Amino acid sequence: DSGVTQTPKHLITATGQRVTLRCSPRSGDLSVYWYQQSLDQGLQFLIQYYNGEERAKGNILERFSAQQFPDLHSELNLSSLELGDSALYFCASSVGGGAIADTQYFGPGTRLTVL
C-alpha cells in the first residue's frame, strides 16, 4: 500500500457525460500528479499540482481539468466523455514540488469505461 488513495476504483458512464476522479496523497506529500494509462497511448502525464497550484501540464485535453484543494486532495474532472477516454487514471504524489530526488508514489488507479 503506497498510502495514496483514489476513488472510485471503477467508473462506468456514457459518452457525453462528466465524471470526477478523486485522489488523496500520502500524508505529508504536497505534489499530486495525474497520469492516464491506455492501450494505445501507454502511460501519459496529464497534470501536476503542488500545494494547491498548477505546476505542470502534459497531454491533458481541454475537456479535462483538475484542482488541488487546501487539504491537498485533488480531483480530476473529465467532461464530454468520448469512447477514447476509457483508460486507467492514476494519481501519484511526492513530498516536494518537483525536487528531482522525490519519488512519485502511485495510487491504485481508477478504471474509467465510457460506453
User: Out of 55, 67, 73, 86, which residue is the one contacting other proteins (CB under 8 A)?
Assistant: 55
| Contact set for other proteins, span 71-100 (CB under 8 A) | 88, 90, 92, 94, 98-100
Q: How far is the CB of 113 from other proteins (least distance, A)?
A: 14
Q: Do residues 87 and 37 lie in contact, with contact meaning Cβ atoms separated by under 8 Å? A: yes
Give the span between the Cα atoms of 73 and 79, in whole angstroms: 20
- Residue 22: its H or E element: strand 19-24
Residue 101, exposed/middle/buried by CB under 10 A (0-12, 13-18, 19+)? exposed
Choose which of 3, 12, 20, 43 interacts with other proteins (CB under 8 A): 43
Q: What is the contact surface with other proteins in residues (CB under 8 A)?
A: 2, 33, 35, 42-45, 48, 55-56, 58, 88, 90, 92, 94, 98-106, 108-109, 111
